[in-house]
Amino acid sequence: MYNQCNYIIMATNDNNIEKSYTLEITERDKAFKRRYQAASPEEQEKMGYDVPHHADMEDIIITEMANEWLRDGKPVD
């Protein structure tokens, strides 16, 4: 879900404890999405956010959210 502050918020239910994760979209992320959208389909396949080496579940979920935002097809601004 998007709101006016360019945040993506996702809530999950883990053992009856609801957790929410917030991804803040920075200017750097917006520039990356512009490069992604300008790239050819072959180049786009190679682009995305990587999961950190010692990632915990929160890092993995936030990285998935970032990749979904990157590939959503919506304009950056």
42-76 pLDDT, tens digit per residue, is 999 999 999 989 999 889 999 999 999 999 999 99
- The answer to whether residue 2 sits within a structural domain is no
Band of residue 16 on the pLDDT scale cut at 50, 70, 90: low
Q: Residue 45: give the domain boundaries.
A: 7-70
Per-residue pLDDT at 5 exceeds 60: no
pLDDT reported for residue 3: 39
pTM: 0.74
Going by C-alpha positions, the residue among 75, 77, 73, 53 that lies closest to residue 63 is: 53
Give the H or E element holding residue 59: helix 57-70
- The answer to whether residue 52 sits within a structural domain is yes
Residues 21/13, Cβ–Cβ less than 8 Å: no
Structure tokens at 20: 């929410």
Report, in angstroms and rounded to the nearest whole number, the Rg of the chain calculated over CA atoms: 14
Per-residue pLDDT at 19 exceeds 90: no
- The answer to whether residue 32 sits within a structural domain is yes
Residue with tokens 């502050």: 5
Distance between CA atoms of residues 70 and 30, nearest Å: 9
Q: What is the total count of domains within the chain?
A: 1
- The answer to whether residue 31 sits within a structural domain is yes
pLDDT mean over 20-30: 92
- The answer to whether residue 61 sits within a structural domain is yes
pLDDT reported for residue 8: 55
